[in-house]
Structure 1
Amino acid sequence: MLPLAQADVSIFRNVRFVLTDMDETLTHHGRLAAAAYHALERLQQAGIKVIPVTAAPAGWCDQMARMWPVDGVIGENGGFFFEREPTRHGVKRNFWHAPEHHEKLAEELARIGQRVLTAVPSARFAEDQKFRLTSIAFAQPHDPDMAAAILAALRENKADTTVNNLWILGWLGGYDKLAMARRVLAETYQTDIAVENQAVLYVGDSTNDAPMFAFFRHSVGVSTVTRYLSEIPTAPQWITNGPGGVGFVEAANVVIAAQTG
Structure 2
Amino acid sequence: MVQSIREKRRVERSERYHKTAEAFLGCIPYGSSAYSFFTTLFKPLYQKRREDWVKDIIIRLNKLENEGRIDLDELAENEEFNTLVIKATRLAEENHQKEKVEALKGIVINSSLELLQDKEMFDWANHFLKIIETISPFHILLLKTFQAPGDIVRVKSIDLGSEFNSLQTKTVFFAIYPEYRDRAKLITQCWKELHDLGFVAFESFEDGGHMPGQLNKLTTDFGDKFLRMIRSDELTSN
- TM, length-normalised to structure 1: 0.22
- TM, length-normalised to structure 2: 0.24
User: In proportion to residue count, which structure has more strand?
Assistant: 1
User: In proportion to residue count, which structure has more helix?
Assistant: 2
Relative contact order, higher structure (CA 8 A, sep 6+): 1
